[in-house]
Chains A and B, each alone.
Chain A
Amino acid sequence: MLGPVVAGLWGTLLPAFGHLPAAGLTGPSLDPFRDLFDWAGLPRAVMLSLSTGLLATAISLAIVVLVTAGWSGTRPFRALERMLSPLLSVPHAAAAFGLAFLIAPSGWLSRLMSPGITGWDRPPDLLIVQDTLGLTMTAGLIIKEVPFLLLITLAALGQSDAQRSVTIAQALGYGRVTGWLKTVFPRVYAQIRPPVYVVLAYSMSVVDVAVILGPNTPPPLSVQIVKWMSDPDLAMRLEGAAGALLQLGLVVGALIFWRMGEVVVAGLGRRWIARGNRGRFDPIVARGALFAGAASALIVLLGLVVLAIWSFAGFWGFPDAFPDQFTLRNWMRFGPGTLEALGETALIACTVASVALILTIGCLEAEYRYGLSFSQRAVWLIYLPLLIPQTAFLPGLQTLMLSVGADVGRLPVMLAHLVFVLPYVFLSLADPFRAWDTRMGTIATALRASPDGVLWRVRLPMLLRPILTALAVGLAVSVGQYLPTLLIGGGRVATLTTEAVALASGGDRRAIAVYGLMQTGAALVPFALALLLPALVWRNRRGLRHG
């Protein structure tokens, strides 16, 4: 899967130095960079990219770590976990729209409080959504990254014997949070480091959330790159490519900065441990973190609720808390369009997720049969496509495809999706697949079942639940892809996500709501099925009910 990434970077590199034969330009020249640095919005765009990325990553990581430290194993934690895990599959765009509909000056929160509490009888003239500092955009990223990091952390916790360490720390008089941070966190962080880096790279270069929640003048760098790349004037692509390289540099720089931060935090942490503080403020910290975690889950949920309300809303004047009447008209009007987009989305997602699943099972089974093992370095290789910002290599891939005359369309889009879907499917299935008791295989082999027989008749049926979950993860990732669909599809492949994001600038809340809900459904339904199917198929098999 590194092929497309490398090709894409190459395709970015050439035009960035003025080489684009398709537009009759040959390099090398530094003009694209000169144009880029002449753009007045650049410092702002760069700052936005850095601040939203670093802030969103740091805050969501802090929430997840402190909530886990303060509450893991308790009932509130399990409740929060249950609330957050389905939210993982809510597409970024839908969550972002939900947030916008909640907190905009004319959003639901303002309506609920007006005019009673605020005294407003018209939406206040405040720039909340698309604020110039990108704070709303940061919030939109946080509410989506918290469930992701929490699930990753839980997976890491399972392998780190955390409970006993905390018990010992508590016996030595440490508070819950302090004890956890001092004993468990270093182990857990070592395991969740790759996904944390993915969150950082993603948050710095995200496009769909930035289009919906980010500032406009100037927009974050990633959005501007897409604008340049979509410009009818081919020459603008040179500037776009230069921007993409700058974006790549920024992400690499931020990752190095984060790594240095880790070293500093580790040093401070060692000193903190040596001082022996028992954690006087633990209860406050723990409660604050739980509140933040719950709030983040609640915002996504309320966002979906307000999307649902808008999708059925007739006339809804400010500051009424609810629409005058509920109607099916919006669904009748946008339904056919969404169904068409749903078909395209489903076709792409099902194909890509299935291919990714087959490749993953093939890899893991080969690893088992031939006794291969992946090193820590190979794990980083799997993460690499997720660490290189999409905006850095997708434009290049698009340019490259144009210059070799390859047709844009569905198949290339599927390939581009596969680059992002495969790592997630692999990461989701690898642990349960490897955790399978290989003595089952030995027994089946001793019963004279062939290697394929063992795979099909024993291993895959026993792993039905994690396999379906991995498939659902793949589907959700594909459904949520915006940039690959837009750029590689050349604007001709219309999925629910591209259609929904395209509606952002228009501001038709009813249309957005219908598309956003359909998009959420497309990602959520497979997860529900992944839970439901094994429970049905194995309803008479107690040994498989948990696992």
Chain B
Amino acid sequence: MDKGLSLKDVRISKGGVPLLSITHDINPGEVLTVMGPSGVGKSTLLAFITGTLAPDFRAKGEVWLDGNNITHAAPHKRRVGILFQDDLLFPHLSVGANLAFGLQPGGNAAERLTKIEEALDEVGLSGFAVRDPATLSGGQKARVALMRMLLSEPCGLLLDEPFSRLDAALRAQVREMVFDRAKARALPVLMVTHDADDAQAAGGEIVTLGG
């Protein structure tokens, strides 16, 4: 089986009422944008893929990632990264500790520290490791959240309205950064959004649910 994220005949329903159904293959480095009005179940689809679907939903179908069927894998073993519209940095950890949380175990302390510094350098936040995340600007937080996710070496990337809290100027900048990094690492990306600009910028296929 080849690389990428595949949704095979995924059907999600709530209380017997069908919510959405989707079949799609996302190749490495490609973006699939799922659009639709709120309440149509876009985030539910992502929850199904991450393995955190609420118990009142029923789901059928399979999710394959890089040739593995992860439909029933434990959530923390799926290697699916996710970014939400809120940065959701852990408020009790420093910026560096947040990144260390994402960084896979292995290496001695100095090596890990170097990796974290490099990650911060990459997004123009050198020297931010000791900062309290609450003191960062919106754009800075978004960059830390992105690097934290990438350090966990995911095989696929989910984006849940990831840019909707950022103002227009920052938005394009952060968006470009996220898509560039995903492409550089050859990650299949599934983005849900209701924003046409985001969908356009993603440059991939667009699927519209409901409506």
Contact = CB atoms under 8 A, between A and B. Distances in A.
A437 to B, nearest CB: 7
Given A442-B52, A442-B82, A447-B149, A543 B132 contact: yes
Given A371-B55, A542-B135, A437 B104 contact: no
A538 B47 CA distance: 31
A378 B135 CA distance: 42
A443 B74 CA distance: 14
Interface of A: 370-371, 437-451, 453-454, 457-458, 461-462, 464, 538, 540-544
B50 A540 contact: no
B50 to A, nearest CB: 6
Contacts of B77: 448
Contacts of B86: 439
Given A541-B132, A542-B135, A462 B104 contact: no
B132 A446 contact: no
B134 interface: yes
Contact of A446 (B81, B92, B104): B81
Given A448-B79, A541-B92, A442 B50 contact: yes
B88 interface: yes
Contact of B90 (A371, A446, A450, A458): A458
A544 to B, nearest CB: 5
B204 interface: no
B109 interface: no
B143 interface: no
B133 interface: yes
Given A445-B76, A457-B101, A538 B50 contact: no
B174 to A, nearest CB: 17
Contact of B149 (A439, A446, A454): A446
A454 B51 CA distance: 15
Given A371-B55, A541-B134, A447 B84 contact: no
17 contacts: A440-B88, A442-B50, A442-B52, A444-B101, A445-B76, A446-B149, A446-B158, A448-B79, A453-B76, A454-B76, A457-B101, A540-B94, A540-B132, A541-B91, A541-B134, A543-B91, A544-B92
Interface string B83-106: 010101011101000000110100
| Most-contacted residue by chain B among A438, A442, A542 (CB, 10 A) | A442
B75 interface: yes
Given A443-B88, A461-B92, A448 B132 contact: no
Given A440-B88, A540-B132, A451 B101 contact: no
B54 A371 contact: yes
Interface in B43-72: 47, 50-52, 54-55
Given A371-B54, A442-B50, A543-B134, A462 B91 contact: yes
In order of increasing CB-CB distance, the 7 nearest A-B pairs are: A543-B91, A371-B55, A542-B134, A543-B134, A445-B75, A447-B152, A461-B92
Contacts of A441: 52
Interface residues of B, number: 34
B44 to A, nearest CB: 13
A446 B101 contact: no
B154 interface: yes
Contacts of A451: 76
Interface string B130-143: 00111100000000
A542 B131 CA distance: 11
Interface of B: 47, 50-52, 54-55, 74-82, 84, 86, 88, 90-92, 94, 101-102, 104, 132-135, 148-149, 152, 154, 158
Contacts of B88: 437, 439-440, 443
Given A371-B55, A443-B82, A449-B76, A542 B149 contact: no
Contacts of B154: 446
A447 B75 contact: no
Contacts of B51: 445
Given A445-B50, A446-B50, A544-B91, A439 B84 contact: yes
Contacts of A454: 76
A375 to B, nearest CB: 14
B129 to A, nearest CB: 13
Nearest to B154: A446
A133 to B, nearest CB: 54
Contacts of A440: 88, 90
Contact of B92 (A442, A445, A462): A462
A426 B139 CA distance: 39
A367 to B, nearest CB: 11
| Most-contacted residue by chain B among A448, A453, A454, A542 (CB, 10 A) | A448
Nearest to B105: A448
Nearest to B98: A447
Contacts of A543: 91-92, 132-134
A371 B56 CA distance: 9
A453 to B, nearest CB: 8
Contacts of B101: 444, 447, 449, 457
Nearest to A543: B91
A448 B133 CA distance: 21
Nearest to B92: A461
A191 to B, nearest CB: 24
A447 B102 CA distance: 5
A370 B50 CA distance: 16
Nearest to B52: A442
A467 to B, nearest CB: 13
A462 B155 CA distance: 29
Contacts of B94: 540
A442 to B, nearest CB: 5
A542 to B, nearest CB: 4
B134 A446 contact: no
B191 to A, nearest CB: 15
Nearest to A542: B134
Nearest to B85: A439
A360 B133 CA distance: 30
A502 to B, nearest CB: 46
B82 A448 contact: no
Given A437-B88, A438-B52, A543-B132, 4 more contacts: A445-B76, A446-B50, A448-B79, A541-B134
A258 B78 CA distance: 55
A28 B88 CA distance: 66
Contacts of A461: 92
| Most-contacted residue by chain B among A371, A442, A447, A453 (CB, 10 A) | A447
A305 to B, nearest CB: 39
Nearest to A544: B91
